[in-house]
A and B are shown apart, each in its own frame.
Chain A
Amino acid sequence: MLPDEDRVPTWRRYLRLVRDNPSGDVDDELAFHLQSTVDELVAGGMSLGDARAAARAKFGDLEQISRTLHTLSHQRERHMTRADLIDSLKQDVVFGLRQLRKSPAFTLVAVITLGVGIGASSAIFSVVRSVLMRPLPFANADRVVRLSQRNGSDEMWSVPYGNFDTWRQQARGFEAMGAIAGGGRVTLTGQGEPLPVPTFSATAGYWRALSMPPVLGRYFSADEDRHGARPVAVISQELWKDRFASRRDVIGRLITVNGQSYAVVGVAPNEYLLPHPPGDAIWLPVDASPSQLNEFGDHEWTVFALARRDVGLPAALRQVTQIDTRLARDHPHSFYDGTVTARPLTDVLVGGNRLVLYLLSGAVALVLLIACGNVANLLLARASVRRTEIAVRSALGASRGRLVAQMLVESVLLALAGAALGLGVAVAGIRFLASSPIPLARLNEARLDGAVVAFTLGLAVVCAILFGLAPALRAARLDLQQTLRDGGRNTRGESQHGLRQVLVVGELCLTLVLLVGAGLLIRSAFALAAVPVGFDTNDLLVFNVVLPESRYSNNDRTRAAFEAMESNIAAVPGVRAVARTQTPPIYGSGWNWTAQREGSNGHDAGAVVADMRFVSSSYFATLGVPMIRGRAFTAGDGSNAPLVAVVSRRLGERLWPGIDPVGRRISNGGDQWREVVGVAEDVHSDGPKHDVDPVLYIPAAQQPGQNSYAFLVRGAVPVTTLLPSIRRAVASVDPLIALSGVSTMDDAMGRLLALDRFTRVLLIALGITGLLLAMVGVYGVIGYFVTQRQHEVGVRIALGASSRSVHWLVVWQGLVLAGTGVVLGVPIALLVARFLGAFLFGITAHDPITYIVVAVLLALVAVLAAYGPARRATRIDPLEALRAT
């Protein structure tokens, strides 16, 4: 007889059927032990009460042992739960791998699709990381700003030296403030071949504001900013490597720059050249003359400043604005109103081109979404094939959660395989991007590092959930009995098909957005190409010649040397024409020159700020700029001849609307007058994207004191082949002169438009990728449609439907998908295209031609994708189709 209290409650036994009950187990086991002992003792003749007491005594400290057992038992439980999880995950992985291996075609398509999407995203991410996300190497980069003045809504990027010097002395809110300006190219001699090197003038504060330690030696001291200080120089890391073999004894060495000696005091790290790539450079002190210290009108200097931590940027800016407001009052007509604004260093160094990266990030995200849509579609198609398998598994007791987990594990496996392939794609993509000649700082430093790999893997998991969750949930929701009864034949195809159609329409929408973007850029490129730049860019060679001031201090000697070079080059066989100017078009602007017609007071419509370029007499003929009135310069327009000028069409129209400018007189505010002898056709000096500027041309012979010129050589043969002869022609005048900046005009144009082309090519490539993926998606859905409607089509054919009408029935499905995609996609594209504004030229973001062409293209692709399934449909054997039902 068992006393009730000692019996295991019946309900607990049933509970154990459902799940393990560790606490109950411990209690039951101990109860069994005690009861057995009691039974034994009672059988031996002991009374029940005594037996119970004896059993307890024999057992020991029941309370404590029970507690210990509970603890041990719970430990075991926890351990087992974890082991179970790992175990089931292992099972899922093995099962998933087997499933994927069983359908290699599906796996291959899915992995390639994901690989392309993920790889493209990772490549762009690596560039974004390198260019935008990596902190700048300067110690206090977050507090360094570039200061600029304002003139109403205009931002004056460069600052007169006098303003800078006043700010530096009076603005207490900054720890350091420095100015830097490009000093043009110089010729470095005495270190092997004469070498053209770009120079900069920098103050001591420039180095302190950016605060990155020198590779070797030191930077300038405050004393060295002063006029007449000992001439010293800082050289770039690249120059140190190339010309000084990275020798440490370069410090203190004298280098000869344009004939003057400077003592090298330091080597600056490459970062000081940002946003430009590492290269040769020399920094010289400003040697600020008294006139420079009193210059409050010539905007020439870039000012960097390090805000004091305890003052903060806003307060420091208010202070410097107060100072500049006073300066603006003291110096009217200097083109600033006293407001000083600041831009963070990252902005300055990365520049406006970050927009391209945002654009590309968006585009790859779209491609990745399309890829995910495609894989989701493939998974849905597979799920309907795997219905029986899933139904059997769930009948065998697999819970819904377990089934979903299994499907998701499969998706993650797919995504990881895609990510592995994607890493390969990313490596190729990064190599392509990093080597492309586009002006993005630190682009060349993009590489596949830990962060990019982590991003790729993370992206894979996100994708897996994105494309895997809906199919997994759907598959697990399947009606078990129905499926088993049907023997696995699909009876719920309709809703399945619905989801797949939604996915494909979504893909088509996104593809439309991508293609509209690419299309707008292509249209802009055509519009750009249709703009005549105003001169012939073919077979035109450009290079610079700098004559060192030490040996060419005499104006006549300098002019004679340049003229001798020009005539020597002209004599080279194969050279059709040669000319000189201070800055060729496309290479930059000339000098600002306020052109005033007679009678103007300098502030009315008779004064126009023109782009002044001095050119040799053969300039217009060499470039092929037609004269629309009057004459070009001739050899007769020399230094002693009457002063003359040629105006561009735009300048002529501005100064003398409706009147022939030839014969009129012009000055830049002084009493020196020039007679206009001709009107030249307009030239897009800053490239086709920018409007033409009003230009004033002056004969080079009438502009003394110019020690550097750009030569323009027109070849009758491919012009680069003439380069050795041209070098000899220059050397015959002065063997110590180096040609610098040698390039063809076409290449220069290419560089100017490189960013546009780069963006366009990538967007087209991404658009085509999206289109191909969407095409695969359409093909899949239409193919499925045909399979589903086999019976119906069979009936139609049996009833005498022509193969043409069957064909049309299927193709119509493709058109409906494309049409829906277009209808839904166009509004999205219209919204998104607004972000493209900065990249467009000559068209608006709503350019109807682009939208129509893209819509037609999508429809064509949908028809093409439907073609295969349509042919299959026409070949359906009605007898077989009917029998199969």
Chain B
Amino acid sequence: MARTIDLLQGTLDLIVLKALSWGPMHGFGLARWIQHTTEDALQVEEGSLYPALYRMENRGWIKAQWALTENGRRAKYYKLTPAGKRQLAVELEAWARMSRAMGQIVNARGATA
């Protein structure tokens, strides 16, 4: 069993935005994408993905459209809006700053006197 990480607040948004930056995806696909990409390291409860998607849609970051899947079933596909793309850039930048800061903390050699 792989060790799992609890998701930080707001991280899920970044993950969804990043995932959709590759192209439109439906909710189920999105769940599988996260699972495969992180090799199950992130334990996202699949149901919790949807409220996040709906909130992002209400904020205008993503747009939904019904379309047929490869198997001929109707599914709701989400795709990034221009506002979503801008938001992704903002969050990536924030994430980079955060991880830089965390890295410096983790590698610090103790307080200087």
8 Å CB contact of B54 from A35, A59, A62, A69: A69
8 Å CB contact of B76 from A13, A25, A35: A25
Determine if B48 and A32 form an interchain contact, defined as CB atoms under 8 angstroms apart. no
Is the C-beta of B57 less than 8 angstroms from some C-beta in chain A? yes
Determine if A72 and B54 form an interchain contact, defined as CB atoms under 8 angstroms apart. yes
Determine if B46 and A59 form an interchain contact, defined as CB atoms under 8 angstroms apart. yes
CB distance from B42 to the nearest CB of A (A): 14
Residues of the B chain whose Cβ atoms lie less than 8 Å from the Cβ of A37: 28, 46
Determine if B46 and A32 form an interchain contact, defined as CB atoms under 8 angstroms apart. no
A-B pair number, CB within 8 angstroms: 58
CB distance from B113 to the nearest CB of A (A): 51
Is the C-beta of A81 less than 8 angstroms from some C-beta in chain B? no
Interface size on A, residues (CB 8 A): 25
Is the C-beta of A474 less than 8 angstroms from some C-beta in chain B? no
8 Å CB contact of B74 from A32, A72, A75, A76: A32
Residues of the A chain whose Cβ atoms lie less than 8 Å from the Cβ of B46: 33, 37, 58-60
Most chain-B Cβ atoms within 10 A of its Cβ — which of A30, A33, A65, A68? A33
Residues of the A chain whose Cβ atoms lie less than 8 Å from the Cβ of B75: 29, 32
Is the C-beta of B55 less than 8 angstroms from some C-beta in chain A? yes
Question: Quick one: CB contact mask for A306-325 with B, threshold 8 Å, 1 for yes?
Answer: 00000000000000000000
CB distance from A783 to the nearest CB of B (A): 53
Determine if A30 and B58 form an interchain contact, defined as CB atoms under 8 angstroms apart. no
Task: Please give me the residue from chain B that is nearest to A25 by CB atom.
Answer: B76
8 Å CB contact of A76 from B50, B58, B73: B58
Q: How far, in whole Å, are A75 and B55 apart by their CA atoms in the complex? A: 10
Is the C-beta of B27 less than 8 angstroms from some C-beta in chain A? yes
Is the C-beta of A36 less than 8 angstroms from some C-beta in chain B? yes
Determine if A59 and B51 form an interchain contact, defined as CB atoms under 8 angstroms apart. no
Question: Quick one: CB contact mask for A53-76 with B, threshold 8 Å, 1 for yes?
Answer: 000001111100100110011011
Residues of the A chain whose Cβ atoms lie less than 8 Å from the Cβ of B27: 29, 32-33
CB distance from A736 to the nearest CB of B (A): 87
8 Å CB contact of B58 from A33, A65, A79: A79
Question: Quick one: CB contact mask for B57-94 with A, threshold 8 Å, 1 for yes?
Answer: 11000000010000001111000000000000000000
Residues of the B chain whose Cβ atoms lie less than 8 Å from the Cβ of A36: 28
Determine if B76 and A59 form an interchain contact, defined as CB atoms under 8 angstroms apart. no
Determine if A65 and B48 form an interchain contact, defined as CB atoms under 8 angstroms apart. yes
Interface size on B, residues (CB 8 A): 19
Determine if A8 and B74 form an interchain contact, defined as CB atoms under 8 angstroms apart. yes
CB distance from A585 to the nearest CB of B (A): 84
Q: How far, in whole Å, are A62 and B48 apart by their CA atoms in the complex? A: 10
Most chain-A Cβ atoms within 10 A of its Cβ — which of B45, B54, B55? B54
CB distance from A203 to the nearest CB of B (A): 74
Is the C-beta of A28 less than 8 angstroms from some C-beta in chain B? yes
Task: Please give me the residue from chain B that is nearest to A70 by CB atom.
Answer: B54
CB distance from B46 to the nearest CB of A (A): 5
Residues of the A chain whose Cβ atoms lie less than 8 Å from the Cβ of B57: 76
Task: Please give me the residue from chain A that is nearest to B55 by CB atom.
Answer: A72
Is the C-beta of B26 less than 8 angstroms from some C-beta in chain A? yes
Is the C-beta of B47 less than 8 angstroms from some C-beta in chain A? yes
Q: How far, in whole Å, are A36 and B51 apart by their CA atoms in the complex? A: 19
Determine if B47 and A32 form an interchain contact, defined as CB atoms under 8 angstroms apart. no
CB distance from B18 to the nearest CB of A (A): 20
Residues of the A chain whose Cβ atoms lie less than 8 Å from the Cβ of B66: 16, 25
Task: Please give me the residue from chain B that is nearest to A62 by CB atom.
Answer: B47
Determine if B47 and A72 form an interchain contact, defined as CB atoms under 8 angstroms apart. no
Q: How far, in whole Å, are A40 and B76 apart by their CA atoms in the complex? A: 18
Q: Known interface pairs A28-B76, A29-B76, A32-B28. Does A60 touch B58 (Cβ–Cβ under 8 Å)?
A: no
Q: How far, in whole Å, are A180 and B45 apart by their CA atoms in the complex? A: 91
Q: How far, in whole Å, are A29 and B47 apart by their CA atoms in the complex? A: 11
Q: Known interface pairs A32-B28, A59-B46. Does A68 touch B51 (Cβ–Cβ under 8 Å)?
A: yes
Determine if A69 and B74 form an interchain contact, defined as CB atoms under 8 angstroms apart. no
Task: Please give me the residue from chain A that is nearest to B44 by CB atom.
Answer: A60
Determine if B58 and A72 form an interchain contact, defined as CB atoms under 8 angstroms apart. yes
CB distance from B88 to the nearest CB of A (A): 21
8 Å CB contact of B28 from A16, A33, A65, A79: A33
Residues of the B chain whose Cβ atoms lie less than 8 Å from the Cβ of A60: 45-48
8 Å CB contact of A69 from B26, B31, B50: B50
Q: How far, in whole Å, are A25 and B31 apart by their CA atoms in the complex? A: 19
Residues of the A chain whose Cβ atoms lie less than 8 Å from the Cβ of B50: 29-30, 33, 65, 68-69
Q: How far, in whole Å, are A35 and B57 apart by their CA atoms in the complex? A: 23
CB distance from B38 to the nearest CB of A (A): 16
Task: Please give me the residue from chain B that is nearest to A55 by CB atom.
Answer: B46
CB distance from A34 to the nearest CB of B (A): 9
Residues of the B chain whose Cβ atoms lie less than 8 Å from the Cβ of A32: 26-28, 73-76
Q: Known interface pairs A8-B74, A69-B54. Does A61 touch B47 (Cβ–Cβ under 8 Å)?
A: yes
CB distance from A86 to the nearest CB of B (A): 15
Task: Please give me the residue from chain B that is nearest to A79 by CB atom.
Answer: B58
Most chain-A Cβ atoms within 10 A of its Cβ — which of B31, B45, B47, B48? B47
Q: How far, in whole Å, are A134 and B48 apart by their CA atoms in the complex? A: 63
Q: How far, in whole Å, are A60 and B73 apart by their CA atoms in the complex? A: 23
Residues of the B chain whose Cβ atoms lie less than 8 Å from the Cβ of A79: 58
Residues of the A chain whose Cβ atoms lie less than 8 Å from the Cβ of B51: 65, 68-69, 72
Residues of the A chain whose Cβ atoms lie less than 8 Å from the Cβ of B31: 33
Give the residues from 15 to 48 in chain A that come closer than 8 angstroms, CB to CB, to chain B: 16, 25, 28-30, 32-33, 35-37
CB distance from B71 to the nearest CB of A (A): 8
Residues of the B chain whose Cβ atoms lie less than 8 Å from the Cβ of A75: 58
Residues of the A chain whose Cβ atoms lie less than 8 Å from the Cβ of B58: 72, 75-76, 79
Residues of the B chain whose Cβ atoms lie less than 8 Å from the Cβ of A62: 47
Residues of the A chain whose Cβ atoms lie less than 8 Å from the Cβ of B74: 8, 13, 28, 32
CB distance from B49 to the nearest CB of A (A): 9
8 Å CB contact of A73 from B28, B45, B54, B73: B54
Q: How far, in whole Å, are A68 and B48 apart by their CA atoms in the complex? A: 10
Residues of the B chain whose Cβ atoms lie less than 8 Å from the Cβ of A59: 45-47
Q: How far, in whole Å, are A301 and B57 apart by their CA atoms in the complex? A: 81
Give the residues from 553 to 594 in chain A that come closer than 8 angstroms, CB to CB, to chain B: none
Question: Quick one: CB contact mask for B22-53 with A, threshold 8 Å, 1 for yes?
Answer: 00001110010000000000000111101100
CB distance from B32 to the nearest CB of A (A): 8
CB distance from B31 to the nearest CB of A (A): 8
Residues of the A chain whose Cβ atoms lie less than 8 Å from the Cβ of B73: 32, 35
CB distance from A12 to the nearest CB of B (A): 10
CB distance from B70 to the nearest CB of A (A): 12
Q: How far, in whole Å, are A73 and B51 apart by their CA atoms in the complex? A: 10
Q: How far, in whole Å, are A28 and B50 apart by their CA atoms in the complex? A: 13
CB distance from A208 to the nearest CB of B (A): 66
Q: How far, in whole Å, are A810 and B91 apart by their CA atoms in the complex? A: 77
Residues of the B chain whose Cβ atoms lie less than 8 Å from the Cβ of A13: 74
CB distance from B44 to the nearest CB of A (A): 10
Task: Please give me the residue from chain A that is nearest to B29 by CB atom.
Answer: A36
Residues of the A chain whose Cβ atoms lie less than 8 Å from the Cβ of B28: 32-33, 36-37
Residues of the A chain whose Cβ atoms lie less than 8 Å from the Cβ of B47: 59-62, 65
CB distance from A488 to the nearest CB of B (A): 38
Give the residues from 462 to 521 in chain A that come closer than 8 angstroms, CB to CB, to chain B: none
Q: How far, in whole Å, are A72 and B76 apart by their CA atoms in the complex? A: 16
Cross-chain pairs A/B with CB under 8 angstroms, 28 sampled: A8-B74, A16-B66, A25-B66, A29-B76, A32-B28, A32-B74, A32-B75, A33-B27, A33-B31, A33-B46, A37-B28, A37-B46, A58-B46, A60-B46, A60-B47, A60-B48, A62-B47, A65-B48, A65-B50, A68-B51, A69-B51, A72-B51, A72-B54, A72-B58, A73-B54, A75-B58, A76-B57, A76-B58
Across chains A and B, which 4 residue pairs bring their CB atoms closest together, nearest first? Answer: A60-B47, A72-B54, A60-B45, A65-B47
| Additional A-B contacts beyond A32-B27, A75-B58 (8; CB < 8 A) | A8-B74, A13-B74, A60-B47, A61-B47, A73-B54, A76-B57, A76-B58, A79-B58
